Amino acid sequence: MVESSIGIQIDDVYKRLRTTQALSGASTMFEPERLHGLIGPEGVGKTTLLRSVVGFLRPDSGEIRFTDQEHSISFDSVRPEMAYMPQQQSLYPDLSIEEHLKFFQKLYGVPEQLYVEKSTELLRITRLEKFRDRPAGKLSGGMYKKLGLMCALLRSPSVILLDEPTNGVDPISRREFWELLYSLSEGHILIIVATAYMDEAERCDHVHLLDRGQVIAHGEPRALLEGEGVSSFDELFIRREQGENS
């Protein structure tokens, strides 16, 4: 069986949300089997772009195209391969970690044997085995985020989109979450992480800098910084803002 190798092409996408022009001609390419960072401050269109990719929003104009093994495929064929973790997760505070996993097993129709293997693996790599009976409402911020990721991964997606997954968690939990993402990336899946934390940009294989609804630059993080003549992504955005205001 040939494994999927899904890529996503964004071509000149516009999207208006009421009075806000959230996307203003965004264009970029998310290559298969890589860990991509969608980087930018709050309010620049990161969430809108992710929701457009996953099909929750329809672009006003432009196109989002999907490929598998470099051949064009339909959204309907790729949708079952995708998992989305929103910034504000809707987990059930009274359900335990294990009860959440069982719930999503039934929701996704995961066969029992595969569920046992997958849930055991996820509990191990998230280091939550000892907490499987703890209700979601009593988890720390970092553990809560890990539970949300486990629920998304239970269906074994080829593409996963994460919206601000480390927002509001402590530095140790942030580091552990990225270690988890690194382990997932070894499984040859496409990962897109939206974040406003500029230091997280350098943790990605490829970054896409978003500002005012447009992708202003993209590339390998270190090469991009060197090409712009800056030492950090904070500096890059500050310089850009100062240049527009001068």
53's CB contacts (< 8 A; 6+ apart) are 8, 10, 64, 161, 192
Are 193 and 224 in contact, with CB atoms under 8 Å apart? Answer: no
The two beta strands, 206-211 and 190-195, are unpaired
Domain 6-89+158-245 sits in CATH at: 3.40.50.300
Rounded Cα distance between 143 and 138, Å, is 9
Q: What is the mean pLDDT of each run of 10 residues along the chain (246 residues)?
A: 78 96 97 95 95 96 93 93 87 95 93 93 91 94 91 90 90 88 85 94 95 94 92 89 69
Q: Which two tokens stand for residue 100?
A: 């959440």
Residue 168: the pLDDT is 81
The pLDDT score that the predictor gives to residue 3 is 62
- C-alpha distances out from residue 209 to 9, 32, 216, 222, Å: 15, 18, 6, 13
Sheet of 20-30, strands arranged across: 20-30, 6-17, 61-68, 71-73
Q: What is the pLDDT of residue 2?
A: 44
pLDDT for position 241: 79
Q: Is the separation of the CB atoms in 145 and 193 below 8 Å?
A: no
Q: Cα separation of 157 and 172, whole Å?
A: 27
Model pLDDT, residue 172: 87
| Structure confidence at residue 219 (pLDDT) | 95
